[in-house]
Amino acid sequence: MLGLVLAAAAAGSAADLTVSEIVDRANKALRGDTSHARLTMTITTPSWERRLDVEGWNRERKLAFILVHAPPKDAGNVTLRRGNEMWVWLPRVERVIKVPPTMMHSSWQGSDFTYEDIVKADSIVKDYEHKLVQKTPEEGRTVYEIQADPKPHAPVVWGKVLFWAAVYPGDEVVGLKEEDYSERGELIRTITLSDIKRMGGRLIPTRLECRPHRKPGQRTAIHYRDIEFDIPLEDSFFSLSRLQKGVR
């Protein structure tokens, strides 16, 4: 999710990129080595809609600090990721909660993304084998359809992942769509990436929409309002001692 999103830039030609390199660059897109983003998350169901104002910091796909600014009842909620561990600060009840393994598949902030999505943001790179399904030249870019199958004994949720990424001149890689399948081959959810723009010096998808296929009429959309890359972020920024302090 909030670890499933795709795009990046590097030297070389598209012909030099392996399928796994395309996956890696795509996965790194909205994080870079470090990043700071402001975004709006809109959760829609057949009976209600909820909007969150979120600010997030990431470093090296292992550290994340996510702060909710709005709505008022969720303001100040913080999610901290350090490696494979995660904590949540809930200011309304003044509690720090370490997210146990039994909660990792639970919804994050009521959205269609889970705590697992945040912790395993780089799982698609390290836990899966990648193969090219189809390569389609288009005007100004080449679109790759890639299948990711779990490595033996990998601790993953999905039985198969299909995703589409576009390689632009200069080897900028932008993700377009992801489909997550169960071990039985059932399509569980689709994540569509769109509104491709240059932001923070990179070509990125600024809108993501996740649709769970078992819940018709429900979706979660993320809109990036602003993002900056390669900013200095010390290890202490992601410390447990800062969890209750927000960004102060």
Q: Could you give all domains of the chain from N- to C-terminal order, each with its CATH number?
A: 7-52+122-243 (2.50.20.10)
User: What integer pLDDT is reported at residue 40 of this predicted model?
Assistant: 98
Q: What is the DSSP letter of 73?
A: G
pTM: 0.89
User: What integer pLDDT is reported at residue 247 of this predicted model?
Assistant: 58
Question: Residue 124's closest CA among 18, 20, 17?
Answer: 20
- The letter for the amino acid at 139 is E
* Cβ atoms of residues 120 and 105 within 8 Å: no
Question: Residue 181's closest CA among 207, 204, 162?
Answer: 162
User: What integer pLDDT is reported at residue 175 of this predicted model?
Assistant: 94
**Tokens describing residue 103:** 């909660």
Tens of pLDDT, residue by residue over 52-90, are 999 999 998 899 999 999 999 999 999 999 998 999 999
* Cβ atoms of residues 173 and 164 within 8 Å: no
**Tokens describing residue 30:** 């909205």
| C-alpha span between 100 and 87 (Å, rounded) | 9
Residue for token digits 């997550």?
Answer: 180
User: What integer pLDDT is reported at residue 245 of this predicted model?
Assistant: 75
Listed as ranges, residues in the chain with pLDDT below 50 are: 1-14
